[in-house]
C-alpha cells in the first residue's frame, strides 16, 4: 500500500506542477502598422498557398502574395517604409535593438497601401523565411547583423 500511496502522491504533485506552467507565448506580436489591431496582440503567422495570415485574438489579417510589395526582417522599420507616409494606427517604439526582431509586410488591398509590423525572435522567424520566399516567389529582405551600429 505504501508504494501505491507514494505513486499517487507523485502523480498529484506532477499534476499540480503542470497546472502552474504558463502556456507558451505566441511567436508573433502585432508591433505596429496601419491596421486597427490591439498593440502587442500575440498570435501565429500562417503561410498558405497564396497568402500570409496573421491570427491573434483581436484580429485576422490576410496579406495575399500577389498584393505584397515589400517584406523585410530587420531590427527596426526601414526608411523606405517610413517614407510611405501612411496613417499608422499603432506606432513602433523607436529603439534600435541589436538583433532582427521586426517582420514588416507592405501590401495593397482595395487600392490602399497597408503596413503590418510583427515582432518575432530570430529563432522563431528562421523557419518561416525560406517557406515565405518559396510560396510567395518574392524575397524577404533581411538585415545583416554586421550592419548595426
Give the model confidence (pLDDT) of 121-139 as tens digits.
999 999 999 999 999 999 9
Predicted local confidence at residue 8, as pLDDT: 53
Go through the domains of the chain in sequence order and give each one's CATH number: 22-147 (2.30.29.30)
Cα 113 to chain centroid distance, Å, stands at: 20
The angle formed by the CA atoms of residues 70, 97 and 29, to the nearest 5 degrees, is: 60
The better pLDDT of the pair 139, 16 is held by 139
Q: Mean pLDDT across the stretch 17-40?
A: 83
What band does 11 get if pLDDT is binned at 50, 70 and 90? very low
Give the model confidence (pLDDT) of 42-68 as tens digits.
999 999 999 999 999 999 999 999 999
Give the model confidence (pLDDT) of 81-113 as tens digits.
989 999 999 988 766 666 779 999 999 998 899
Work out the mean pLDDT of the chain and round it to a whole number: 85
Query: SS3 helix, strand, coil % of the chain, rounded to 5?
Result: 30, 35, 35
Predicted local confidence at residue 111, as pLDDT: 85
What band does 15 get if pLDDT is binned at 50, 70 and 90? low
CA-based R_g, the chain, Å: 20
CA dihedral for 133, 31, 45, 128, sign (positive or negative): positive
Q: How far apart are CA 41 and CA 28, in angstroms?
A: 8
Amino acid at each position: 500500500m505504501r508504494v501505491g500511496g507514494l505513486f499517487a502522491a507523485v502523480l498529484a504533485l506532477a499534476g499540480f506542477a503542470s497546472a502552474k506552467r504558463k502556456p507558451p507565448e505566441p511567436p508573433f506580436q502585432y508591433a505596429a502598422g496601419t491596421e486597427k489591431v490591439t498593440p502587442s496582440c500575440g498570435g501565429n503567422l500562417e503561410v498558405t498557398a497564396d497568402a500570409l495570415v496573421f491570427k491573434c485574438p483581436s484580429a485576422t489579417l490576410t496579406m495575399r502574395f500577389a498584393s505584397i510589395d515589400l517584406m523585410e526582417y530587420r531590427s527596426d522599420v526601414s526608411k523606405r517604409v517610413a517614407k510611405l507616409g501612411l496613417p499608422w494606427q499603432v506606432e513602433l517604439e523607436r529603439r534600435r535593438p541589436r538583433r532582427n526582431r521586426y517582420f514588416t509586410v507592405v501590401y495593397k488591398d482595395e487600392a490602399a497601401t497597408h503596413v503590418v509590423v510583427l515582432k518575432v525572435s530570430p529563432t522563431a522567424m528562421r523557419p518561416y523565411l525560406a517557406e515565405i520566399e518559396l510560396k510567395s516567389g518574392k524575397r524577404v529582405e533581411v538585415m545583416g547583423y554586421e550592419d548595426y551600429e
